[in-house]
Amino acid sequence: MLDRVSMIEFIVDNPNGQLIFRQTKSWCTDFLDLTEVQSSKMDELFNKQYIELAQVYKKYNTTNSPEDLDALVDVILHQEERFRDLLTPKQLGVYKTKFAETKLASGETKNKAFNNLFFSDEMLVSYRQ
């Protein structure tokens, strides 16, 4: 989770954070062959996610409280679920397979970003407990 929070910090603290967040999420998921409608919805979703994430992260960064960290994790988990809801079953299968591939090549920049901005099934289960 520390890598994830560090990436969020890097993005939120950047004056172009919203653009970076949206572009990075789009770059990381370019393998999904999204339709035009999905791409538009994803763009809108990523913008909303950034705003929500920035607000919760800034509060956590100020307090460093366990409760605010829990709130941050909860926001990230809900964002993952909303993202997955926009995928077709076939795309979701491809997406899940991608996590296995990124583990094998975790040192690559794109894979690091992917693993820090999205959640595998195992991580979702682990953080939901």
Q: Which long-range contacts (CB under 8 A, 24 or more apart) does 6-11 make?
A: 6/116, 7/113, 7/116, 7/117, 8/53, 8/57, 8/72, 9/57, 9/61, 11/50
Between 107 and 102, where is the model more confident? Answer: 102
pLDDT single digits (tens) 7-39:
888 899 999 999 999 999 999 999 999 999 999
Check pLDDT > 90 for residue 112: no
| pLDDT tier for residue 99 given thresholds of 50, 70 and 90 | confident
Check pLDDT > 70 for residue 1: no
pLDDT single digits (tens) 31-74:
999 999 999 999 999 999 999 999 999 999 999 999 999 999 89
Per-residue pLDDT, 55: 95
Check pLDDT > 80 for residue 83: yes
Check if the beta carbon of residue 113 is closer than 8 Å to that of residue 24: yes
Between 83 and 122, where is the model more confident? Answer: 83
Per-residue pLDDT, 123: 82
